[in-house]
Structure 1
Amino acid sequence: MAVGKEEEILKARTDKREYRRIVLPNSLQVLLISDPDTDKCAASMDVSVGSFSDPDGLEGLAHFLEHMLFYASEKYPLEDSYSKYISEHGGRTNAFTASEHTNYYFDINPDGFEKALDRFAQFFIKPLMSADATTREIKAVDSENQKNLLSDGWRMNQLEKHLSAVDHPYHKFSTGNWDTLEVRPKAKGLDTRHELIKFYEEYYSANLMHLVLYGKEKLDKIQGLVKDKFKDIRNIDRSCLRFPGEPCTSEHLQILVRTIPIKEGHKLRLVWPITPEIHHYKEGPCRYLGHLIGHEGEGSLYYILKTLGWATGLSAGESDSTLDFSFFKVEIDLTDVGHGHMQDIVGLLSNTFPSYSSQVSADGFLMSYLLFAR
């Protein structure tokens, strides 16, 4: 087992916690954090596979797998025993599926941490993806999607995907529903559970996983827990997945889309394709630009819009980031008066930041969305 040198991890002088990076023999990379003053312990496992890897005709499979891993394991076959244990020991647990990642995490009272880790590790060792649970969890995914249909934010995100290049995985419907996970697969003679297990076996490899543990114990103790609980995750040396190319070409730029929202109100969203900030994480250009545009003090863009009575809120920053592409979004909550001054607001944004406006001219608007009341 390789152990990273502690001095390689930079931390603030006021940070009293101890850190250590290790790599298990199965190539699982782990960050250990020891904090004797904490009243909660936590763990997070990130798997480098997400909705971009959904097979054609099985949109939402990665998200469905996220749901199924919570169900049970061969070692702990009692349904929902993991979630119940976490709750009984003062903790919370959840997960999310992104484009290139799926993340599972929990926190818990310190006295329940070790047993929680044992249950958590079984997600990635021998999950029990039984036939009984398959239909029920597809319904759970469908229910989640039905809820999202009533969310303006989710609807806008799906609209952005719909307007992108059809041959790029960003275009896919990533949540999944009853149609994509049950009706269509059956029509093609596919067994969703069989495809789910195949997906898990193909992508859930230890070398594509990164684990973080946060506990009260000394680093050596936490390291011992990791070695004991996670050493049996199989490693098939799966290559890291990449999805090169831009989801937006010239035909997707400089367009204005008007939509009718679920909730009454007006919102203007402007989106630009950019280089992912992860390639410049030390400089943080998106965070810098987001701070400038989102500043609310006197003389700022928001201050001007608020003074004019055109806006009640403004946010800016990177969104939908992957290894190969990203977007920078500015979202403005408009008043009824501001709703009629959209072009003026876009002009103010460009004039407030001349250096940025030149970049806008070079790249062009990707999309501009305007939400208006019925």
Structure 2
Amino acid sequence: MRLVAVNQLQAGMRLGKKIYNDEGLILLADGVELTDSLIKRLFLMDIGYVYIEDSITDDIVIPEMLQDETRNQALKIIRKEFKQMSGASGITKGFYHLDKKFSKIMDSILGDLSTQEDPMIMLMDMHTADNYLYAHSLNVCLYTLVLGIAHGYSQEELHVIGMGALLHDIGKTQIPAKIVHKPGMLSDEEFRHMKAHTEIGYRILKDEPNIPLLAAHCALQHHERIDGSGYPRGLKGPEIHEYAKWLGVADSYDAMTSNRIYKKAMLPHQAVEALYVGSGTLYEQEQLELFRDRVIIYPMGLTVRLSNGESGVVVKIDPTTPHRPVVRVLTGPEGEKVAPFERDLGTALSIVIVDVDGSG
């Protein structure tokens, strides 16, 4: 299958992967034939890219980070608990107790990741921009755990940092919906309210019997930055817990690569470049380097243009060099169609990817 920008879809194409809303419900099933009205609907849902079936790339199987059952159960629990907390009185005073199901779903997520020999951060399932909070919480949890596994944390440590990542934005349940879902830039006053979600989240989690205290500190510190420019306390470098630093990278990456009410998603390579602008100032350089080595910046199925003029589709990723994939070349240097063949950028070191489909 192939990853195609929505603005390049044509009637008659068939979806290669399901499209979900951010509550885990299927909006469009795989195999659905696209019509002009469905393509327009995708535009209106602010979805930038979808996977489509394609005879030239029908052997490409897109790997999944989680089993369907685990993903759907996690989103169901997040949705239920967060909705129940929204607007609840007394919640930040410790009168509410989070369900133990969060701990159980963390065990399931870690179980799924443990079956993967070399888990990587990859583009997640396509979601609409509505109720972004639910899918974002799960994505950030997965990305943080992949980084934690690569860093060498123990299972106990992974459980704690995973819980912190899953619940890092829980404070947003107490922020007015008109601010959280505002389709434009926040005013200074609105941004002040939004920033309060870190401290609210900490107060919600710190006394919860089922939640590790370090998870509460993840909620408090995930917007702190090593140069002191973050919030809520303007902490610097070693003052920020290392879990929160990992979480800050994962949170920023998912925010950039997800569809939002007010902006289109970036492709992974664009988001990685944006993160590197903050290397040594916003984020620890060593953490960004490990992140770069664990993220698939050119997703399988993506159409790319090479420095020798050829174009093709990414068909295979080597976990040791994820930035140099195998490309199935479909057109030659002059744009002419050629008999498909595979070029391994891991060995063709003089050739690099210079552009991707839809990046402009």
**Fold shared, TM-score > 0.5 on shorter chain:** no
Greater strand proportion: 1
TM-score normalised by L of structure 1: 0.23
What TM-score, normalized by structure 2, do the two folds share? 0.23
Q: Greater relative contact order (Cα 8 A, min sep 6): structure 1 or 2?
A: 1
